């Protein structure tokens, strides 16, 4: 179980500090695929960085902490301060663009072994990797290539291979298929599903594509303007969403074969620099009342395992 | 549906080819970005045609040829009854700009960061439409209103003061000012948040109605293509594989590639079946294939497919399928 | 114009130098270059603010005239080289094709020509009879090429960007596009290039003075340093003579730099950035 306790993350900029993630309080059971959805700037990537422990200036975890649910080498429980030591082994990260994570002038096999401890038998590990990538539908010679020699889809598979080779307990994927063609995307997502079934790890998957979330996630987290507005089982979230924003997200895209009129979500999220009072979604919400403008809704468990932050949760839009 | 009079050629290409030669002296690779593309879309009223495909399909190259941003290697292209590409073709600039206008993929790149966005609108009105300052201002006002913005929202502001969706709407407004008969939209919503895309897509439908403008919608997103198009052309590795009425093709695909595409869409409401997919090979090899470009990934391919280009098989519902087994 | 601190400080420094060097000479009747006007090697006093040189000149007045001449030469030459580099680079990069190749071949040739050997040859032909302005012309001929190449590569990459197509479809003509769309992106580089050119001129002029291709009798920042070094100012304790021009050059550069970056910041603020 991963426990996120009252996380507050801030960025320091020339204009001052802005809170990119405000008060995230959740429990994520082991072995689940959790999708994180929301508009640009809602805080989903920041939340991922916090969970991964990539807390370099100007990002800081101002309040709260994370319990990862497994002990480190010395037996103590791992927290956000110590998670860095577990990178690649117990927790790994698949970025959006493989080209910005792979060094273009170094062969892939060398990048694989870069993070091994000194003294490990490199040849053994490389042999293991060559075998492993075949499972992912890659030729074993792929790791001898330079990144630009492979197609985008193959590179992303390499990223998945790197992220899963040591069978980490937690995998964080930040829009890993957004830049890929739809056929290649399906391949990678199916791959992730297969690996997850086998390894039973937890995957946190950020995407702005609700269709992708529908296909692969067990639970979903919807974020808006630095806050979590809904969390629950994916099936329920798609069938009976509690928060009006979730409903707007799921209905904002057309489906083939379905001819009824669709509307994009109108307006813009509030600027995080403003002094935000009440529900942050009130300006764009069709259900908003005076109450919403003044009082921030609490994040309540309305049904078992299904949380939402809305005064009118579940009401029809 | 009112008719606008005579049948017009919305888009026609004849043996359109674009070949890129990459590599050095000894290692030349031929990329057929457009490989003998033949399209003939005629209509007496404004329509929206989508050209869909993945990366490497040639759809963006097609858009650039039509916009005269690149020259084809051979063949010709006609847009809105105007010859725009072909050997020695050089249409009169004003006439061209009043017929064809673009919308580009990246809203933040569409404007110079050093100039206020309304200057582009003003220039279009004064130069392409040759309007006076006063007339220009009212034309701009009208165009902005039709996309949901006002002149006051936009006057004197720089691109970084807008969101991606707003910038894209301003691009649409600018493209509308010359009252073009066709707007070429190259992936207009792929860089906008998924939940905000319909705001722009719905605009295309309204504008088709109100301004009688046709659209050429280049995209890799089949769902929005379904929603908005009258006709659709599916492209793969520089060739058209299926073309015809959009709704029929997308609900009943007949080319194996179109079927593969539709199967791969992560749609809400229909879970994927877990089946193996044959991934594409190294791009440059595929571009140099003979016969049908899809044969190495096709579940029904036979010997014939490896050396004979499939012809366009016409079907009852008006579609064309480029497959030996259609 | 709402100015930021950088700009304020930069402009202040420049103002002091420019007005000082232009106006002060009116208060002086003595020719600062004449040798033996005053007793040699005097230290700082009320009469001689920076002492006197080993040639019997008043250091302060020599410096004032030197700054004036260096600035005049620097600014004039830089205006020309920056203008030529900018125009050539922009047009070549944007137009592309054979025009670009032809112009770049010429530019590369100029870059490849080693400046000093040519000048040495010229020096032997001319034998110290060049006028100050001939020096200026030589500097312009050799000074525009590198900048042109840089501007050209910037123009080349900018040409592919979408807002250029947008401008074309808005009806703009090629010259309009080059100067209204491409130029603003190149402008910041050109300002920096202008400042660097001024310094390059001051330094190169000094180098030319050493090989006898410039009139070292004419006071410039370079020539003061040349004379001070020739007379071993450091060893003879003539600190003001050698340090004053160095300090002056550094301050001048600081002023130019602060002005340019301050102006950049100001411009960015006006464009709606934070």
Tell me: do A82 and A203 sit in the same domain. Answer: yes
Q: Which residue of B has its CA nearest to C173?
A: B127
Whether C77 has a pLDDT exceeding 90, the answer reads yes
Range name among A271-285, B95-109, C124-138, C172-186 with the lowest pLDDT average: C124-138
Residue A144 lies in a domain: yes
Give tens-digit pLDDT for A91-101.
898 888 777 77
Give tens-digit pLDDT for A113-159.
776 665 677 788 888 888 888 888 888 888 888 888 888 788 888 88
Indicate yes or no: CB of C171 within 8 angstroms of CB of B175.
Answer: no
Residue B1 lies in a domain: no
Q: Which residue of B has its CA nearest to C162?
A: B110
Tell me: do A160 and A176 sit in the same domain. Answer: no
What pLDDT score does B7 carry?
85
What pLDDT score does A95 carry?
84
Mean pLDDT of C3-13: 85
Residue A314 lies in a domain: no
Tell me: do A212 and A151 sit in the same domain. Answer: no
Residues of C in contact with B97 (CB under 8 A): 169, 171
The pLDDT > 70 percentage for chain C reads 91
Question: What is the number of domains present in chain B?
Answer: 1
Q: What's the domain range around A111? A: 98-167
Which residue stretches of chain B have pLDDT < 50?
Answer: 1-3
What pLDDT score does B301 carry?
87
Tell me: do A150 and A199 sit in the same domain. Answer: no
What pLDDT score does B287 carry?
65
What pLDDT score does B2 carry?
45
Tell me: do A152 and A247 sit in the same domain. Answer: no
**Would the CA dihedral through B64, B69, B72, B73 be positive or negative?**
negative
User: Is the full-model pTM beyond 0.80?
Assistant: yes
Give the distance from residue A125's alpha carbon to the nearest chain B alpha carbon, in angstroms: 27
Indicate yes or no: CB of B265 within 8 angstroms of CB of A262.
Answer: no
CA angle in degrees (0–180, nearest 5) for C221-C225-C231: 145
Give the distance from residue B284's alpha carbon to the nearest chain A alpha carbon, in angstroms: 11
What pLDDT score does B248 carry?
92
Whether C70 has a pLDDT exceeding 90, the answer reads no
Residues of B in contact with C181 (CB under 8 A): 112, 115
Does B3 contact A at CB distance below 8 Å?
no
Mean pLDDT of C112-138: 75
Burial classification of residue C171, based on how many CB atoms lie within 10 Å of its CB (0-12 exposed, 13-18 middle, 19 or more buried): buried
Which one of A247, A256, A263, A281 makes the best mutation probe of the B interface by having the most chain B beta carbons within 10 Å? A256
Give the distance from residue C2's alpha carbon to the nearest chain B alpha carbon, in angstroms: 18
Whether C216 has a pLDDT exceeding 60, the answer reads yes
CATH classification of the domain holding B270: 3.40.50.300
Whether C211 has a pLDDT exceeding 70, the answer reads no
What pLDDT score does B178 carry?
93
Residue A197 lies in a domain: yes
Whether C129 has a pLDDT exceeding 70, the answer reads no
Whether C235 has a pLDDT exceeding 50, the answer reads yes
Look at C219 and B312; give whichever has higher pLDDT.
Answer: B312
What pLDDT score does B173 carry?
94
- Averaged confidence pLDDT in chain A: 87
Give tens-digit pLDDT for C249-270.
888 888 888 887 887 777 676 6
A151: CB partners within 8 A, 6+ apart: B280, B282, B283
Domain end residue (candidates: A140, A167, A194): A167
Does A215 contact B at CB distance below 8 Å?
yes
Indicate yes or no: CB of B268 within 8 angstroms of CB of A250.
Answer: yes
Q: Per-domain residue ranges for chain C?
A: 16-24+54-269
Residues of C in contact with B106 (CB under 8 A): 162
Tell me: do A153 and A177 sit in the same domain. Answer: no
Indicate yes or no: CB of B279 within 8 angstroms of CB of A137.
Answer: yes
Mean pLDDT of A254-265: 84
Q: SS3 sequence, chain B?
A: CCCCCCCEEEEEEEEEEEEEEECCCCCCEEEEEEEEEEEEEEECCCCEEEEECCCCCCHHHHHHHHCCCCCCCEEEEEECCEEEECCCCCCCHHHHHHHEEEECCCCCCCCCCCCCCHHHHHHHHHHHCCCCHHHHHHHHHHHHHHCCCCHHHHCCCCHHHCCHHHHHHHHHHHHHCCCCCEEEEECCCCCCCHHHHHHHHHHHHHHHHHHCCEEEEEECCHHHHHHHCCEEEEEECCEEEEEEEHHHHHHCCCCHHHHHHHHHCCCCCCCCCCCCCCCCCCHHHHHCCCCCCCHHHCCCCCHHHHHCCCCEEECCCCCEEECCCC
What pLDDT score does C127 carry?
63
Three-class secondary structure of residue A113 per DSSP:
helix
Residue A154 lies in a domain: yes
Give tens-digit pLDDT for B37-85.
999 999 999 999 999 998 888 999 999 999 999 999 999 999 988 899 8
What pLDDT score does B225 carry?
93
Give tens-digit pLDDT for A196-214.
999 899 999 999 888 999 9
Kindly give the residue spans of alpha helices, DSSP state H, lying in chain C.
5-23, 59-95, 97-112, 115-126, 132-143, 145-158, 162-169, 174-176, 183-210, 221-230, 239-270
Cβ atoms A254, B224 nearer than 8 A: yes
H/E run at residue A293: helix A290-294
Domain end residue (candidates: A107, A142, A167): A167
- Rounded to an integer, what distance in angstroms lies between the CA atom of residue B130 and that of residue C134? 50
Give tens-digit pLDDT for A11-21.
998 888 899 99
- Rounded to an integer, what distance in angstroms lies between the CA atom of residue B233 and that of residue B319? 10
Indicate yes or no: CB of C165 within 8 angstroms of CB of B114.
Answer: no
Does B198 contact A at CB distance below 8 Å?
yes
Domain end residue (candidates: A167, A183, A208): A167
Mean pLDDT of C197-223: 75
Does A218 contact B at CB distance below 8 Å?
no
Indicate yes or no: CB of B127 within 8 angstroms of CB of C166.
Answer: no
Whether C214 has a pLDDT exceeding 70, the answer reads no
Domain C16-24+54-269 bears CATH identifier 3.40.50.300: no
Question: What is the number of domains present in chain A?
Answer: 2
CA neighbor of B237 nearest in space, from B53, B78, B76, B88: B53
Q: Which two tokens stand for residue A306?
A: 């299904």
CATH classification of the domain holding A239: 3.40.50.300
Residues of C in contact with B128 (CB under 8 A): 169-171
Whether C128 has a pLDDT exceeding 60, the answer reads no
Q: What is the DSSP string of C232-246?
A: TTTTTT-HHHHHHHH
């Amino acid at each position: 179980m991963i426990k996120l306790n009252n996380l507050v993350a801030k960025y320091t900029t020339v204009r001052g500090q802005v809170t990119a993630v405000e008060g995230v309080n959740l429990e994520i059971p082991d072995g689940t695929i959790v999708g994180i959805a929301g508009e640009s700037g809602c805080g989903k990537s920041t939340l991922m960085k916090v969970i991964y422990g990539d807390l370099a200036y100007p990002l800081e975890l101002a309040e709260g902490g994370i319990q990862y649910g497994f002990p480190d080498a010395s037996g103590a429980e791992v927290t956000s301060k110590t998670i860095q030591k577990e990178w690649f082994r117990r927790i790994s990260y698949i970025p959006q663009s493989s080209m910005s994570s792979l060094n273009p002038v170094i062969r892939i096999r060398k990048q694989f072994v870069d993070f091994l401890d000194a003294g490990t038998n490199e040849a053994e590990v490389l042999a293991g990797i060559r075998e492993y990538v075949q499972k992912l539908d890659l030729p074993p010679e792929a790791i001898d290539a330079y990144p630009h020699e492979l197609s985008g889809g193959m590179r992303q598979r390499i990223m998945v291979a790197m992220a899963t080779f040591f069978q980490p307990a937690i995998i964080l994927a930040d829009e890993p298929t957004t830049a890929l063609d739809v056929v290649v995307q399906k391949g990678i997502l199916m791959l992730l599903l297969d690996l997850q079934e086998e390894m039973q790890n937890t995957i946190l998957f950020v995407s702005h594509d609700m269709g992708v979330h529908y296909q692969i996630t067990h639970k979903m987290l919807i974020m808006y303007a630095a806050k979590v507005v809904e969390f629950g089982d994916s099936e329920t979230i798609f069938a009976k969403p509690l928060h009006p924003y979730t409903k707007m997200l799921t209905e904002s895209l057309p489906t083939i074969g379905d001819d009824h009129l669709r509307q994009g979500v109108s307006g813009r999220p509030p600027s995080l620099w403003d002094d935000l009072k009440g529900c942050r979604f009130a300006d764009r919400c069709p259900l908003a009342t005076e109450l919403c403008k003044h009082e921030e809704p609490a994040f309540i468990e309305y049904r078992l395992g299904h949380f939402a932050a809305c005064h009118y949760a579940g009401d029809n839009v | 549906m009112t008719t606008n009079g005579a049948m017009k050629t919305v888009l026609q290409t004849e043996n359109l080819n674009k070949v890129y030669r990459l590599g050095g002296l000894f290692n030349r690779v031929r990329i057929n970005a457009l490989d003998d593309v033949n399209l003939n879309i005629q209509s007496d009223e404004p329509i929206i045609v989508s050209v869909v495909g993945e990366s490497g399909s040639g759809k963006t190259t097609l858009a650039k040829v039509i916009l005269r941003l690149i020259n084809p290697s051979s063949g010709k292209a006609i847009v809105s009854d105007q010859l725009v590409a072909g050997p020695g073709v050089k249409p009169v600039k004003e006439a061209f700009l009043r017929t064809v206008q673009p919308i580009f993929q990246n809203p933040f790149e569409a404007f110079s960061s050093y100039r206020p966005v309304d200057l582009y609108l003003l220039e279009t009105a004064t130069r392409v439409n040759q309007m006076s300052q006063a007339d220009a201002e009212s034309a701009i006002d009208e165009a902005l209103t039709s996309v949901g913005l006002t002149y006051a929202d936009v006057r004197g502001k720089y691109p970084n003061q807008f969101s991606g969706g707003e910038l894209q709407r301003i691009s649409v407004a600018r493209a509308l000012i010359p009252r073009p008969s066709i707007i070429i939209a190259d992936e207009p919503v792929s860089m906008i948040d998924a939940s905000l895309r319909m705001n722009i897509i719905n605009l295309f439908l309204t504008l088709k109605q109100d301004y009688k403008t046709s659209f050429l919608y280049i995209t890799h997103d089949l769902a929005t293509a379904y929603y908005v198009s009258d006709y659709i052309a599916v492209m793969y590795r520089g060739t058209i594989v299926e073309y015809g009425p959009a709704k029929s093709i997308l609900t009943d695909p007949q080319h194996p590639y179109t079927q593969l595409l539709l199967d791969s869409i992560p749609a809400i409401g229909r879970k994927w079946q877990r089946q193996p997919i044959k991934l594409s090979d190294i791009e440059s090899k595929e571009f140099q294939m003979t016969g049908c470009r899809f044969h190495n990934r096709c579940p029904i391919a036979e010997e014939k497919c490896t050396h004979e280009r499939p012809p366009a098989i016409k079907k009852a519902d008006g579609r064309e399928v480029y497959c030996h087994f259609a | 114009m709402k100015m930021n601190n950088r700009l304020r400080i930069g402009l202040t420094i420049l103002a002091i130098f420019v007005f000082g060097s232009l106006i002060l000479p009116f208060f002086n009747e003595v020719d600062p270059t004449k040798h033996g006007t005053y007793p040699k090697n005097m230290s700082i006093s009320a009469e001689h603010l920076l002492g006197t040189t080993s040639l019997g000149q008043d250091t302060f007045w020599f410096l004032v005239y030197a700054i004036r001449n260096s600035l005049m030469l620097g600014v004039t030459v830089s205006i020309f080289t920056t203008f030529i580099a900018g125009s050539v680079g922009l047009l070549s990069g944007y137009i592309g094709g054979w025009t670009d190749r032809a112009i770049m071949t010429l530019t590369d040739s100029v870059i490849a020509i080693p400046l000093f050997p040519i000048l040495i040859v010229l020096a032997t032909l001319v034998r110290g009879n060049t006028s100050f302005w001939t020096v200026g012309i030589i500097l312009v001929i050799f000074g525009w090429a590198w900048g042109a190449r840089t501007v050209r590569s910037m123009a080349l990459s900018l040409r592919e960007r979408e807002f250029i197509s947008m401008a074309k479809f808005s009806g703009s003509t090629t010259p309009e596009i080059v100067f209204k769309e491409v130029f603003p992106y190149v402008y910041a580089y050109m300002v920096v290039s202008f400042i660097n050119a001024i310094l390059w001129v001051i330094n190169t002029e000094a180098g030319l003075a050493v090989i006898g291709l410039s009139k070292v009798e004419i006071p410039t920042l370079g020539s003061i340093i040349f004379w001070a070094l020739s007379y071993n100012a450091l060893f003879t304790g003539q600190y003001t003579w050698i340090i004053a021009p160095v300090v002056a050059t550094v301050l001048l550069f600081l002023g130019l730099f602060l002005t340019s970056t301050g102006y950049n910041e100001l411009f960015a603020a006006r464009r709606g950035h934070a």
